[in-house]
Amino acid sequence: MQEENHVFDERYSRGAAGLAGAQVEPYEIWLEDWSIERINTNNSDDKNFPVRLSGTMEDGSAINFVVTPAKPLTLQGEEGFDKKGPEEGNASYYLSFTRMDTEGTVTLDGEEFEVSGQSWMDHEWSTSALDREQEGWDWFSLQLSNGYDLMYYQLRNRDGSVSEFTVGSLIGPNGEKTTITPENVTLEVQDRWESP
């Protein structure tokens, strides 16, 4: 953990032979040996939480977390519909749990570490993301010590300007959302990172 490496993995599969799937009762989503499953507890009337997230990556790194929302669900954009460009298809559905109480274990280089803290979960899906005049985006999420959370993304146009569809949210301690527009934010590049 001292090397400050970023570890990630991605995979895809299919529902055939039970390789991937989802079910409502009991609540579970799986992709081969990765899974999200609801844990039955006597302490919660919530039908969706707490959940256990577990999975082992190709390099042997692994997570095994129990997560429970500490704040209500935030619907980004307009009631969860987040417009990203002028065309009808330039949009996504975007939901966030900005604070989730998280505890469990992380395995790195064969050593298991107990961890606890707060995590952030985004779920976003779309048919297309960017307009042909856009070339990319910069996305930020911050959990502030006063209980507020900030999500902001800046969409970049091919001509170097900031897209008018750039937007963010300030989420209060009780889940109240305030929209942040690009007129209220200035981003300045301080450094650049190159993938090894």
In the block, which residue shows the tokens 């299919």?
14
Nearest to 71 by CA among 48, 99, 91: 99
Question: What is the overall mean pLDDT for the chain?
Answer: 91
Q: Which pTM was predicted? A: 0.85
Which helix (H) or strand (E) covers residue 120, if one does?
Answer: strand 111-128
Q: What is the pLDDT of residues 19-67, one digit of tens each?
A: 999 998 888 999 999 999 999 776 666 778 899 999 999 999 999 999 9
Contacts of 196 (CB under 8 A, 6+ apart): none
Q: How far apart, in whole angstroms, are the C-alpha atoms of residue 58 and residue 150?
A: 32
Q: Is the pLDDT of residue 2 over 80?
A: no
Q: Name the band, by pLDDT with cuts 50, 70 and 90, for residue 6.
A: confident
Q: Where do the domains of the chain lie, and which CATH numbers do they carry?
A: 22-184 (2.40.370)
